[in-house]
């Protein structure tokens, strides 16, 4: 039993190291990207083995859905023939020494800080405060009530990323596929109800079990990307919907800031949520953030400002 | 029951290793992509086995996400990567072989 568990873990870590090495050092770009996608899959299994199902859920939603899609599309736009030129071995050797040195220093620093972490962590404090947060799952309580400022800043960072990508130029026009794809519109139409149902389920579950706004938004965004691939959301590209699109993009952040200012008015602390309204407020913020995250991922996927 | 579940998980992981070999070896991008989908399917199976092993229903949710999102990766590959790349003459070649 223990021998089998150890065998499973050893096999998993060996596969992970192999995939990471190939993703970094293969000269073929496409093969490297596929290795990275497989790395994401096994990484989710590692999070499961480390008993962190919340992280595994986020890894599954973001790693399998959105990162792979962004990398594959970017790969399709790169000029051909130069794939061997991008190899890291052609860097100047001083840069290599600098990279090795900084990696070594941060590894030592990380090992040192792991030794000095408070044991057994903040679990008891969070469990003691859980009843006042309005949700019964510790991770959601930390993300949306106790440390809501972190989540607020994360959403702001994502919005900043969208603005940066849009500032680079107009939205990219996709190339024609190499073969006819009669099944694609049917696939997106068949799967779309599931891409609405699963995020709703994750969002609702977030109050008492692993789930919540980020995985839900990422899955919804992946469904949106599938629609984009099948040309199902042409309204995003039309100039007359531009204002609506921008308003929807900032809706999550705006609601979050309004909640924060409301907390400042009612209790005197920014982002403090009164206990009586906590459940409803957290649900509203989660819905708005999930919708905004989904739309932001779709907006990133356009690789430029639409309607220009 | 536990040793059976664990052996099944190890066997599935070994299967994923065969998929990893195909990703590494190629030779065409379609081979690599299908091998990645094989690893996705294997991961879904491993997650389901583990959820029975440690009695954590949330792992079924993770498996559900992987199963759902595999379609997006494949649709991306056929529409945006495997394209009639620009005007280069070897572009079609690269789509088939890189």
> What ipTM goes with this model?
0.86
In chain A, residues with a C-beta closer than 8 Å to the C-beta of B70 are 64
Residue of chain A whose alpha carbon sits nearest to that of B39: A38
> What is the distance in angstroms between the Cα of B21 and the nearest Cα belonging to chain A?
10
Residue of chain B whose alpha carbon sits nearest to that of A15: B17
Token pair in block for residue A266 = 């009612």
pLDDT of residue B86: 42
Of A48, A229, A166, A97, the residue nearest B49 (C-alpha): A48
Q: How does pLDDT run across B31-72, given as a tens digit for each residue?
A: 888 999 999 999 999 999 999 888 888 899 899 999 999 888
> What is the distance in angstroms between the Cα of B85 and the nearest Cα belonging to chain A?
7
Token pair in block for residue A61 = 């939603």
pLDDT of residue B84: 63
pLDDT of residue A264: 87
% of chain B exceeding 90 in pLDDT: 36
Does A68 sit within 8 Å of B76, measured CB to CB? yes
Residue of chain B whose alpha carbon sits nearest to that of A59: B62
In chain B, residues with a C-beta closer than 8 Å to the C-beta of A179 are 78, 82
pLDDT of residue A80: 61
Query: Do residues B31 and A28 touch, judged by C-beta distance below 8 A?
Result: no
| Ranges of chain A with pLDDT below 70 | 1, 80-91
> What is the distance in angstroms between the Cα of B12 and the nearest Cα belonging to chain A?
10
**Optimal mutation site among A76, A84, A215, interface B, most CBs of chain B within 10 A:** A76
**B91 pLDDT tier (thresholds 50, 70, 90):** very low
> What is the distance in angstroms between the Cα of B51 and the nearest Cα belonging to chain A?
9
pLDDT of residue B89: 41
């Amino acid at each position: 039993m223990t021998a089998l568990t150890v065998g499973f873990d050893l096999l998993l870590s060996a596969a992970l190291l192999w995939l990471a090495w190939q993703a970094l050092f293969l000269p073929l770009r496409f093969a490297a990207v596929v290795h990275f996608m497989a790395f994401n899959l096994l990484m989710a299994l590692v999070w499961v083995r480390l008993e962190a199902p919340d992280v595994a859920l986020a890894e599954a939603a973001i790693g399998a859905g959105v990162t792979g899609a962004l990398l594959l599309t970017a790969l399709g736009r790169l000029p051909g023939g130069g794939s061997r030129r991008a190899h890291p071995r052609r860097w100047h050797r001083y840069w290599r020494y600098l990279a090795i040195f900084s990696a070594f220093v941060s590894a030592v620093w990380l090992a040192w800080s792991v030794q000095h972490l408070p044991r057994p962590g903040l679990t008891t404090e969070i469990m003691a405060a859980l009843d006042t947060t309005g949700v019964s799952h510790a991770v959601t309580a930390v993300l949306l009530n106790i440390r809501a400022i972190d989540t607020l800043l994360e959403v702001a960072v994502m919005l900043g990323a969208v603005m940066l990508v849009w500032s680079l130029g107009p939205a990219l026009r996709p190339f024609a596929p190499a073969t006819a794809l009669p099944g694609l519109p049917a696939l997106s139409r068949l799967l779309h109800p599931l891409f609405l149902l699963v995020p709703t389920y994750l969002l609702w579950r977030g109050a008492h079990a692993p789930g919540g706004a980020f995985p839900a938004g990422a899955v919804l965004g992946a469904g949106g990307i599938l629609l984009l691939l099948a040309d199902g959301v042409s309204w995003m590209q039309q100039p007359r919907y531009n204002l609506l699109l921008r308003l929807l993009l900032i809706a999550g952040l705006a609601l979050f800031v309004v909640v924060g200012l409301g907390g400042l008015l009612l209790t005197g602390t920014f982002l403090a949520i009164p206990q009586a309204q906590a459940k409803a407020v957290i649900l509203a913020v989660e819905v708005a953030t999930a919708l905004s995250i989904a739309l932001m991922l779709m907006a990133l996927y356009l690789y430029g400002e639409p309607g220009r | 029951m536990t040793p059976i579940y664990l052996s099944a998980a190890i066997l599935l992981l070994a299967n994923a290793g065969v998929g990893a070999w195909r990703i590494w070896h190629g030779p065409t991008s379609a081979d690599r992509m299908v091998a990645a989908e094989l690893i996705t399917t294997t991961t879904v199976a491993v997650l389901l086995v583990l959820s029975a092993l440690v009695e954590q229903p949330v792992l079924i949710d993770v498996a559900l996400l992987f199963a759902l999102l595999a379609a997006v990766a494949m649709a991306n590959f056929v529409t945006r990567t495997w394209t009639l790349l620009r005007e280069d003459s070897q572009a079609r070649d690269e789509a088939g072989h890189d």
